A and B are shown apart, each in its own frame.
Chain A
Amino acid sequence: MFYREAGDFKTSYVEDGQTFPIKFDRYRYYAVLIAAFAVVPFIINDYWVNAVFLPFLIYSIAAIGLNILVGYCGQVSLGTGGFMAVGAYACYKLMTAFPDVNILFHVILSGGVTAAVCVLFGLPSLRIKGFYLAVATLAAQFFLVWLFNRVGWFYNYSASGQINAPERTVFGVPVTGAETAPWAAYLFCLVFTVACAILARNLTRGMAGRKWMAIRDMDIAAEIIGVNPLRAKLTAFMISGFFVGIAGALFFAVYLGAVEVGEVFGINKSFLVLFMVIIGGLGSIFGSFAGAAFLVLLPVLLKNVLVGTLGWPTDLAAHLEFVIVGGLIIVFLIAEPHGLAQLWRVAKEKLRLWPFPH
Chain B
Amino acid sequence: MKKTIFGAAVAAVMAAAPALADLTIVDTSYRTGPYAANGIPFSDGYQDYFTLLNERDGGIGGEMINLVECETGYNTEKGVECYESTKGEGALVYQPLSTGITYQLIPKATADGIPLHTMGYGRTSAKNGKVFEWVFNYPANYWDGASHAITHILDQNDGDISGKTIALVYHNSAYGKEPIRTLEGLAEKHGFDLTLLPVDHPGQEQKSQWLQIRREKPDNVIMWGWGVMNQVAIQEAVNIRYPMENFIGVWWSGSENDVKAAGDRADGYKALTFHNIGSDYPIYDDIQTHVVETGNAAGAGDQIGTVLYNRGMYAAMLAAEAIKTAQEIHGTAAITSAQMRDGMENLEITEEKMAALGLPNFGPEFKVTCENHGGNGFGAVSQWDAEAGEFKLITEYFQSDQEILQPLIAADSQAFAEENDIEMRCN
Contact = CB atoms under 8 A, between A and B. Distances in A.
Nearest to B111: A178
Residue with the highest number of chain B CB atoms closer than 10 Å, among A35, A289, A293: A293
B356 interface: no
12 contacts: A48-B8, A159-B412, A160-B177, A162-B174, A166-B420, A264-B77, A286-B1, A304-B15, A307-B70, A308-B17, A314-B31, A319-B32
Interface in A290-315: 290, 293, 297-298, 300-301, 303-305, 307-309, 313-315
A175 B107 CA distance: 14
B88 A47 contact: yes
A46 B211 CA distance: 48
B169 to A, nearest CB: 15
Contacts of B108: 178, 257
Contacts of A315: 31-32, 36, 40, 71, 299
A290 B5 CA distance: 11
Given A257-B108, A266-B201, A53 B31 contact: no
A149 B172 CA distance: 8
A262 B175 CA distance: 12
B123 A160 contact: yes
Instruction: State the 7 A-B residue pairs at the shortest beta-carbon distance, nearest first.
Output: A315-B31, A304-B14, A178-B107, A160-B174, A178-B111, A314-B71, A293-B4
B110 A301 contact: no
B57 to A, nearest CB: 25
A177 B84 contact: no
Interface in A99-115: none
Given A166-B419, A256-B104, A300 B31 contact: no
A320 B8 CA distance: 20
Interface string B8-35: 1011101101100000000001011000
B178 interface: yes
B198 interface: yes
A161 B173 contact: yes
A304 B78 CA distance: 13
Nearest to A262: B201
B12 A47 contact: yes
Interface string B157-201: 000000000000000111001101100000000000000001011
B411 to A, nearest CB: 10
Interface of B: 1-5, 7-8, 10-12, 14-15, 17-18, 29, 31-32, 36, 40, 69-71, 73, 75-77, 80-81, 84-85, 87-88, 99-100, 103-104, 107-108, 110-111, 123, 172-174, 177-178, 180-181, 198, 200-201, 299, 412, 419-420
Contacts of B17: 304, 308-309
A8 interface: no
Nearest to A158: B415
Nearest to A180: B111
Contact of B107 (A177, A263, A297): A177
A269 to B, nearest CB: 10
A87 interface: no
Contacts of A317: 71
Contacts of B123: 160
A52 B8 contact: yes
Interface in A23-70: 32, 35, 46-48, 50-53, 55-56
B5 to A, nearest CB: 7
Contacts of B99: 160
Contact of B85 (A51, A55, A286, A309): A51
Contacts of A289: 1, 4
Given A263-B201, A264-B76, A314-B69, 16 more contacts: A35-B5, A50-B84, A159-B180, A161-B173, A162-B103, A257-B108, A293-B4, A300-B11, A301-B14, A304-B17, A309-B17, A314-B29, A314-B70, A314-B71, A315-B71, A318-B32
A48 to B, nearest CB: 6
Nearest to B83: A50
Contacts of A160: 99, 103, 123, 174, 177-178
B209 to A, nearest CB: 14
A159 B185 CA distance: 13
A300 B31 CA distance: 17
Nearest to B103: A258
A219 interface: no
A308 B198 contact: no
B11 A304 contact: yes
A32 B111 contact: no
Contacts of B173: 161, 260, 262-263
Contacts of B419: 164, 166
Contact of B1 (A32, A256, A258, A319): A32
Contacts of A286: 1
Contacts of A47: 12, 15, 84-85, 88
Contacts of A53: 8
Contacts of A56: 4, 8
A259 to B, nearest CB: 8
Contacts of A293: 3-4, 7
A319 B32 CA distance: 7
Given A263-B75, A308-B17, A51 B3 contact: no
A55 B111 CA distance: 21
Contacts of A166: 419-420
Residue with the highest number of chain A CB atoms closer than 10 Å, among B5, B111, B181, B419: B5
A159 B3 CA distance: 44
Contacts of A319: 32
A298 B71 CA distance: 16
Contact of B172 (A159, A177, A262, A309): A262
Contacts of B10: 301
A92 to B, nearest CB: 12
Interface string A232-269: 00000000000000000000000011101011101000
Contacts of A318: 31-32, 71, 73
A326 B72 CA distance: 19
A301 B11 contact: yes
A309 B110 contact: no
A307 B18 CA distance: 10
Contact of B11 (A164, A256, A264, A297): A297
Nearest to A179: B111
A51 B14 contact: no
Nearest to A56: B4
A278 to B, nearest CB: 18
A55 B8 contact: no
Nearest to A306: B14
B104 A258 contact: yes
Interface string A178-190: 1100000000000
